[in-house]
Structure 1
Amino acid sequence: MSPIALPTQNAVVLHGPKDLRLEERTLWPPQYNYAQVSVVSTGLCGSDLHYYLHGRNGDNVLQAPLVLGHEAGGIVTAVGPGVKNLVPGQRVAIEAGIMCNHCDYCKKGRYNLCKAMRFCSSAGTFPHLDGTLQSRMNHPANVLHPLPDSCSFDQAALAEPLSVLLHASRRADLTSGQTVLVFGVGAIGLLACALAKSYGASHVVAIDINQTRLDFAKAYGFASQIHCLPPADKAKTTEEQLRRAKENIQVALTEFGKEDGFDVVFECTGAESCIQMAIHGAITGGKVMLVGMGSRNVMLPLSAAATREVDVHGSFRYANTYPTALALLISGKLKNVEKIITHRFPLEDTARAFDLLARGKDDEGKMVLKIMIGDS
C-alpha cells in the first residue's frame, strides 16, 4: 500500500530546546501484538519539562526529533494481529515502558530494570521511542491497561506518576500506622502524601521551599503539618552544607513534634540538601526512599545513616503497578487527588503549556501543578 493512501495524525515533536513543532505524520496500522490508541489525556511531567527546556534530561540527550509525554490514557482504535485482550473502542491507560520480557529482571518481575527497556518520550535509548503527545500512537497491547468503567482519562494519566509512588512504597514496605515525611510537594510529592494516607499512615507531613504549595498540601488534606525551609545562600563548603542540612531538619522535626524522626521519608525533589536532610529526618531504623531525580552526585552524611541503621533505597520508575494504581484512583481513598490537575491545554498549544509549567504560576497568579494535554 502506498503511504499516500494511509491516514495521517498530528504529533508535537521536540527538535531541540524550546523547539516544539506540530507535525502531520503518517498513521501506520498496528503491527503484531500492538494496538492503536487515540490519546485523550497526557499529563506533563518534570522529565518532559527538562527535555523541553534543555534538550536533555540528566545524561539522556536528544539525538533526534522526539515526541514527549508518557502519562496518558486513550481509546483503542485498532488492534494488530495476535491481540486478544483488547478491542476497538476500549478505554485504556498507556504504560510507557516496553520491556524485553526475556531477561532475568523481566522474569523476576523487576522489568523496570530491564537493560533493553525502551521508554516512550525518553532519549535514553536510540532510536528514541516517541511518547504520547500525539493524536494516535501504536503501542504493545500487553502494556495497555483496560480502564474500570468509572475511571476517567485524567485518572488514567495519573496512574503513571502514582505508579512511581506505589513502587517506592513497596520498596519501603510502607504499612499502616507508620509516620511519613515527604520532601517536595509538587505532583509527585502530593501523590506520595495521598498514597501514604491511603496505606493508613498515622502522621503525614511535608517540607518544601514553596509556601504556596505547602499551603495547598495542608488545605486539601495531603499533609497534616507542613514546614517551609528558609531561603539561604549557597553553602561555601561541604561541611557547611552538611551542618545546615542537619540544623534545618532538626528545626522541622521539633516543629512536627517528631524529634526522633519519621519511619519512612520520601525524598521527591532530587535536591542535594533535601537528600541530606532526609537521612537525618528518618528515625533510627527507618527508611529513606530516593524518588526525585535531580543532583547527579551527592555528598551524603553516611555515618548518620550507618550508625542508626537508616536504609537508603533507590527507586526507579515502576513494575506491575498499573492495575493497583487504577483501582486506587477510583476507590476514593486518595482524597482530593483530582485537585493536582490545575491546567489543561489542547495538543496544538503544548508549547504554551510547557512555558506555563516552567513559570510555575499562570497570569492570574494561580499555582501550576499538573497540566493535562488533550480534550478530556
Structure 2
Amino acid sequence: MKAVVLHAPHDLRFDDIAPAPAPGPGEVQIAVSHGGICGSDLHYYHHGGFGTVRVREPMALGHEVSGTITALGAGVTGLTEGDLVAVNPSRPCGHCDYCRKGLAHHCLDMRFNGSAMRFPHEQGLFRAAVTLPAAQAVRLPAGTDLALAAMSEPLAVCLHAVAGAGSLIGRRVLVSGCGPIGCLTILAARAAGAEEIIATDIAAPALAGARAVGADTVLDLAGDADALAPYAEAKGQIDVAFECSGAPPAILAALKVLRPQGLLVAVGLGPEVTLPVTALVAREIRMQGSFRFDAEFATAARAIASGRIDVSPLLTRVLPVAEATDAFDLASDKSRAMKVQIAFPSP
C-alpha cells in the first residue's frame, strides 16, 4: 500500500509499504481519508527532526487523520465497518503512575504516531490504511466532513489549554501567535465563554485567519510594536493570555498586559526566555504550561462533527496524496497557507 515516507530532510517519498495487518483482538483497521500537515511534520521535512530528535530510519509522517473503518478485530464493540472516525495518535501505556493518576498525556511510555523519539520509530498515519487499538478511533456521525474531522488533534491541543485556564466566562483573553494552534485556541476560548478575544501576530495572513475565526480585535505587532500598550495600563487589562507562538518577545509582551493574578498559558514551544520575576511577583502573575491532550480528543472530534466548533475557515487546501511534496511545500509557506491536508483515494 502507499504511504508518505520521510527518508531524509526534503526527501519525502510516496512509497509502497507493507499492507496494514488484519486487526487483532481489540483492534480496528482504518482506511485513511484525510491527513493534516502539522508544524512537527514540517520540522521533520525540513530538518529531519527537532531538538535532539532525528529521523534514523524511513518514517511515515502524519498524526492528524480521519478515515473509515474497514475491519474489526475480535471483541470490538461500539464500532462497525463503514463508520467514519477521527484517529487519536496518542497511545498511553495505561499503567504507569501518570496514567493511573489521570494524567495519561504525561505517560512515561507514550507512543505517538509520527514520532522519531523512539527507535524503531513510531510510524505516522499518512498511510493508505492503519491498524490500531479501537480506543484510538472516535466514531463520527454519517456525513461528517472527514477533512474537517482531521483537525480533531490540533483542536484537542487547544481545548486542553483552554480547560487548564479555568472558567473563561466573561473574561478578556489574549491569544498571541495566530497560526493553526492560535486560531483554534480562539475558537476554543470562544466556545468556553470568553467575552472578548484579542489576537496578535507579526504576519498579515495569520491575522486574517484570526479574524476569520472570530477574534474581536487583531493587532499587527510588526506594523505597530506598541499596539498592546493600552492593555498594560492600570497594572494590566488581560485576564488570560494564551501564548501560542513560543517566541520570547511574545511571551514577554503577554506578561506585560496581564492584570494582577492574571494567567499566562504557554502553549507554543520555543527557545528559553528570561522572565521578569519582579513583575511576576508584584502582580502575582500565574504561569502554566499546556502539553498535548487526553480526553479532549473525543470532545474535539464531536465538536467538529456537530458543527459546534467550525474549523472550516482554517482549511487552506486539500491535495491528493500523490502530490504530498507539493502539499508540504505549500504548508511551509505561511504567506499562502494556514492548514494544508493530503487526501487518500477512497478504498
TM-score between the two structures when normalised by the length of structure 1: 0.86
Provide the secondary structure at the position in 2 that maps to 1:26: coil
Q: Deviations over 1:180-222 (max 9, x none)?
A: 100111111111111111122111010100023213422x252
* Candidates 240, 243, 250, aligned match of 1:274: 250
Q: Deviations over 1:274-297 (max 9, x none)?
A: 1222222322111111111122x2
Provide the secondary structure at the position in 2 that maps to 1:205: strand
1:47 paired with 2:40, answer yes
1:13 paired with 2:5, answer yes
Provide the secondary structure at the position in 1 that maps to 2:28: strand
1:319 paired with 2:294, answer yes
Provide the secondary structure at the position in 2 that maps to 1:112: helix
Q: Deviations over 1:151-190 (max 9, x none)?
A: 3212221111110011111111132111110011111111
Shift of 1:312: 1.0
Structure 2 vs 1, CA of residues 32 and 221 (structure 1 numbering), >3 Å: closer, same or farther? closer
Structure 1's unaligned 5+ residue stretches are 1-8, 233-247, 362-366
Distance 2:123 2:234 in 1: 46
Distance 2:110 2:205 in 1: 38
Matched residue, 1:227: 219
Distance 1:89 1:374 in 2: 18
Matched residue, 2:156: 163
- Any conservation in 1 of the 2:83–2:142 contact (CA below 8 Å)? no
> Following TM superposition, where does structure 1 have runs of at least 4 consecutive aligned residues deviating by more than 4 angstroms?
255-259
TM-score between the two structures when normalised by the length of structure 2: 0.93
Matched residue, 1:342: 316
Provide the secondary structure at the position in 2 that maps to 1:81: coil
Matches within 5 A, 1:208-223: 208-218=201-211, 220-223=212-215
Matches within 5 A, 1:352-363: 352-361=326-335
Matched residue, 2:338: 369
Structure 2 vs 1, CA of residues 255 and 277 (structure 1 numbering), >3 Å: closer, same or farther? closer
Shift of 1:375: 5.1
Superposed CA RMSD in Å reads 2.0
1:329 paired with 2:304, answer yes
Matched residue, 1:121: 114
- Any conservation in 1 of the 2:201–2:222 contact (CA below 8 Å)? no
Shift of 1:311: 1.2
- Any conservation in 2 of the 1:76–1:88 contact (CA below 8 Å)? yes
1:188 paired with 2:184, answer no
Q: Deviations over 1:102-147 (max 9, x none)?
A: 1121122211100100100111222211111111111111111111
Distance 2:303 2:229 in 1: 30
Distance 1:221 1:133 in 2: 27
- Any conservation in 2 of the 1:165–1:188 contact (CA below 8 Å)? yes
| Aligned-partner residue type, residue 77 of structure 1 | T
Structure 2 vs 1, CA of residues 99 and 208 (structure 1 numbering), >3 Å: closer, same or farther? same
Structure 2 vs 1, CA of residues 281 and 256 (structure 1 numbering), >3 Å: closer, same or farther? closer
Matched residue, 1:263: 239
Matched residue, 1:62: 55
* Candidates 188, 204, 207, aligned match of 2:197: 204
Q: Deviations over 1:246-270 (max 9, x none)?
A: xx5x641417989723111111111
Shift of 1:150: 4.9
1:24 paired with 2:13, answer no
Structure 2 vs 1, CA of residues 113 and 255 (structure 1 numbering), >3 Å: closer, same or farther? closer
| Aligned-partner residue type, residue 9 of structure 2 | P
Provide the secondary structure at the position in 1 that maps to 2:199: strand
Matched residue, 1:306: 281
Provide the secondary structure at the position in 2 that maps to 1:134: coil
- Any conservation in 2 of the 1:120–1:131 contact (CA below 8 Å)? yes
Structure 2 vs 1, CA of residues 119 and 208 (structure 1 numbering), >3 Å: closer, same or farther? same
Structure 2 vs 1, CA of residues 252 and 259 (structure 1 numbering), >3 Å: closer, same or farther? farther
- Any conservation in 1 of the 2:157–2:291 contact (CA below 8 Å)? yes
Identity among equivalent pairs (%): 37
Structure 2's unaligned 5+ residue stretches are none
Distance 1:309 1:184 in 2: 24
Q: Deviations over 1:54-81 (max 9, x none)?
A: 0012332212111111111101111223
- Any conservation in 2 of the 1:94–1:145 contact (CA below 8 Å)? yes
Of 62-71 and 300-309, the range deviating more from structure 2: 300-309
Of 89-98 and 21-30, the range deviating more from structure 2: 21-30
